[in-house]
Amino acid sequence: MSHTAHIPSHRKPRRSTSKLAVRAGVAGGVLSTLAMAGTASASPSAEPVAETTLEMPVLSLDLTADVASAVTTAAENTRVAAVEAAVTGELNAQEESARSGAAAEAKQAKEQAQQKAEKTAKEEADRKAEAERATRSSGRTTLQTASASASAGASADDGEGTVTAPATGSASAIINFARNQVGKAYVMGGTGPSSYDCSGLVQAAYRKAGISLPRMSQDQSSEGTSVSLSNLQPGDVLYWGSRGNAYHVALYVGGGKFIGAQNPSTGIVERSLSYDMPTGAVRIL
């Protein structure tokens, strides 16, 4: 086999005669067309081109429905806003009323609590008084004996025993005033002239004699000097409790008796010492 049998030739193949003919025909057609176009553009137009005017369509819109809808919507919005404002106002009024009602209830509850506390304090004081009376029951016999001896004419030359001599001077003025109040009402905090509490009566009686005493029982029991219950004199201030912390006071009037504003049920009374034995006494005159 030859060594050059499969090596392609480097020369360009010749074009076929038919292809060359086709190409020549196409080129001639193109040149013919260009020549005719040039001739047509060079010759003047036989007839002028007529101008055409375009008319825009006239729009006829009926806006009545749209306007009515807008008005209706605005009116509805206004109505809704008014309703909301009314509801808000009503709610605010109800809240304010609720707050006012709660404040009134709180005030009433506070007043009731204060009244209850005052009542409880009074009941506690009465309970303590009863307890004091019970614990002092053993001393009543001794005082009754001393009072009986004084009433029978026992003397007090040695300073012992209960004095039965009539009150004179300031003591007389104090006791006379106290006796004139017997039968009047007991009112807590009362200072006269129609009603008294225990310390109010003692203060008013001493004022009659020109002597000023503190208003409260505990302070009155701190005045003057302490004296024994077996050495009492008319005008001495009796106290129940402890000196300086007494919860009740009265006036010794002689003869083993005292006058005091006891409680709301008895009012101002004159009683024997054995009715309610005092804890102690102070002498101010």
- Concatenated DSSP letters for 54-118? PPPPPP----HHHHHHHHHHHHHHHHHHHHHHHHHHHHHHHHHHHHHHHHHHHHHHHHHHHHHHH
CA–CA separation, 9 and 5 (whole Å) = 10
CA–CA separation, 181 and 259 (whole Å) = 9
Structure-token pair, residue 212: 């000023």
The DSSP letter of residue 194 is S
- Is 39 inside a domain boundary? no
The alpha carbon dihedral of 38, 40, 44, 45 has a sign of negative
Query: Under a CB-based contact definition with an 8 Å cutoff, are residues 234 and 171 in contact?
Result: yes
- pLDDT at residue 17 greater than cutoff 90: no
How many CA atoms are closer than 13 Å to the CA of 202, on its beta-carbon side? 31
Q: Which residue has the higher pLDDT, 160 or 256?
A: 256
> Smallest Cα–Cα separation from 172: which of 233, 228, 232, 131?
233
CA–CA separation, 285 and 23 (whole Å) = 163
Quickly state the pLDDT bin for 145 (edges 50, 70, 90).
Answer: very low
- Is 40 inside a domain boundary? no
Q: Which residue has the higher pLDDT, 196 or 114?
A: 196
Quickly state the pLDDT bin for 5 (edges 50, 70, 90).
Answer: low
pLDDT, tens only, 65-79? 777 788 788 888 888
pTM for this model (two decimals): 0.46
- Residue 238 Cα distances to 101, 110, 115, 191, 201, angstroms: 50, 37, 29, 18, 12
- Is 275 inside a domain boundary? yes
User: Per DSSP, what are the bridge partners of residue 191?
Assistant: 196
Q: Which residue has the higher pLDDT, 206 or 44?
A: 206
pLDDT, tens only, 148-157? 444 444 333 3
CATH number for the domain that contains residue 243: 3.90.1720.10
- Is 98 inside a domain boundary? no
- Is 191 inside a domain boundary? yes
In the chain, the number of structural domains is 1
- Is 97 inside a domain boundary? no
Q: What is the DSSP string of 213-261?
A: --SSHHHHTTSSEEE-GGG--TTPEEEESSTTS-SEEEEEEETTEEEEE
Residues spanned by the domain of 140: 136-283
pLDDT, tens only, 23-34? 656 556 655 555
- Is 239 inside a domain boundary? yes
Quickly state the pLDDT bin for 146 (edges 50, 70, 90).
Answer: very low
- Is 231 inside a domain boundary? yes
